[in-house]
Amino acid sequence: MEMNSGEVVRNAQERKDFYAKIDPHNLAPLWEVLKGLIPGEPKPKAAPYVWDYQKVKGMVHESGGLLTAKEAERRVLVLENPALRGQSLITDVLYGGLQIIMPGEVAPAHRHSQSALRFIIEGSGAYTAVHGEKTIMKPGDFVITPAWTWHDHGNDSPDPMVWLDVLDINIVALFHGQFREEWPDDRFPVSRPEGDALARYGSGLMPIEYTPTSHASPIFNYPYERTREAMYRMSRAGDPDPHFGFKLRYINPADGGWAMPTIATAMQWLPKEFATKTYQSTDGLGFVCTEGKGETRVTLPDGKEVVLPWKAQDVFIVPGWLKHTHHAADDAVLFSFSDRSAQEKLGLFREKKH
């Protein structure tokens, strides 16, 4: 039966009346929101952005004089994505922040159900202690704090140290799995010699009776010098991948999966003047330029291009499902992190190589 315009107007009013009728009963019409709830493809809210470390470095160091690490528990400036201000998110999913620890300080021991990574940006000689083992950290090192492990940080060196923190806070909050506990003393007791985890699990070998106690890697410090050497040797064996250059992912040696259960991490080397082919993936990508300089070109959903220039120590973001390319002006090394490992476990990860 064909409707005339009067019937359409009448039906529109009838719908409004119906919506008002069901509202007090905590009901809502799916047909009004369906396309927003289940879009045709991902629509990230985060924006592409670069934190120029030389511009923010002074503010990070200034925070070191505002309060002690003990007062703050963790003295961190949160990297808030400009499109997600007030939500403590660097991507649509992950938290990120720059933490500083001053000479002689200790950031007190605690544990929490969130998984955390540290990527060292500045300074050398400070340490993280994870569940009874200390590791001295250097720029470019990738350090894991697995969920619910006791950890503290200290700095016995004469210089401040700054690192990037990335945590799966939003993922854990989605499932209401947040727990935190404080250790009664500033430092958790050291029970294993420094380098024990790397010696046991980082040489392609495993203790014969090793039984995993966590979904995270038993290695908690992946030293940059070893990672860089691996990329160099990879480059001697063939040409760079057209979409990634020479890229290696950090793995859990116990099962060959990602080093962390919810956060995927990798390192890639882009030779001088190398440009990657266009790539897009569902995970929101974060990067730290470890060496060199260049730029990343990101295509927004409306077709406009955003250019992100980066150099050593800068942090930058490419939101999920946005097409992008990397362009290296010099030999460049990029550390990356994303929620890919969580997406893969849920069967959600997709990528397109153009």
More confident residue, 74 or 333: 333
CATH architecture label of 49-353 = Sandwich (2.60)
- Per-residue model confidence as pLDDT tens digits over 204-217: 888 888 888 889 99
In which band, very low, low, confident or very high, does the pLDDT at 340 lie, cut at 50, 70 and 90? very high
pLDDT at 10 (0 to 100): 64
Compute CA distances 309 → 76, 92, 294, whole Å: 24, 21, 6
pLDDT given at position 176: 95
pLDDT of residue 63: 94
Name the segment(s) of the chain with CATH classification 2.60.120.10.
49-353
CA angle 30, 32, 36 (to 5 degrees): 85
Q: What is the greatest pairwise CA distance in the chain? A: 83
Q: Is the pLDDT of residue 192 over 50?
A: yes
**Per-residue confidence band for 9, with pLDDT thresholds at 50, 70 and 90:** low
Mean pLDDT of 308-332: 98
- Tell me the DSSP string of 279-332: EEESSPEEEEEEESEEEEEEE-TTS-EEEEEEETT-EEEE-TT-EEEEEESSSE
Determine the Cα–Cα distance for residues 246 and 254; give it in Å rounded to an integer. 24
Chain centroid to Cα 306, Å, comes to: 21
Read off the DSSP letter of residue 19: H
pLDDT for residue 1: 45
- Residue 12 neighbours by CB distance under 10 Å: 10
Confidence of residue 71 (pLDDT cuts 50, 70, 90): confident
CB half-sphere exposure, 314, CA atoms < 13 A: 21
What confidence tens digit (pLDDT) does each residue in 341-350 have? 999 999 999 9
Q: Cα separation of 11 and 244, whole Å?
A: 55
CB 266 within 8 A of CB 290: no
pLDDT digits (tens, 9 = 90+) for 96-132: 999 999 999 999 999 999 999 999 999 999 999 998 8
Cross-strand partners of 264: 338
pLDDT value of position 70? 77
Binning pLDDT at 50, 70 and 90, where does residue 147 land? very high
Q: What average pLDDT is seen over the chain?
A: 93
How confident is the model at residue 5, as a pLDDT? 55
Q: What is the rounded CA–CA span in Å between residue 185 and residue 198?
A: 27
Q: Which CA distances in Å does 223 have to 12, 93, 108, 282?
A: 64, 26, 24, 28
CA dihedral of residues 207, 213, 214, 215 (deg, nearest 10): 70
pLDDT score, position 7: 62
- Quote the pLDDT of residue 74: 86
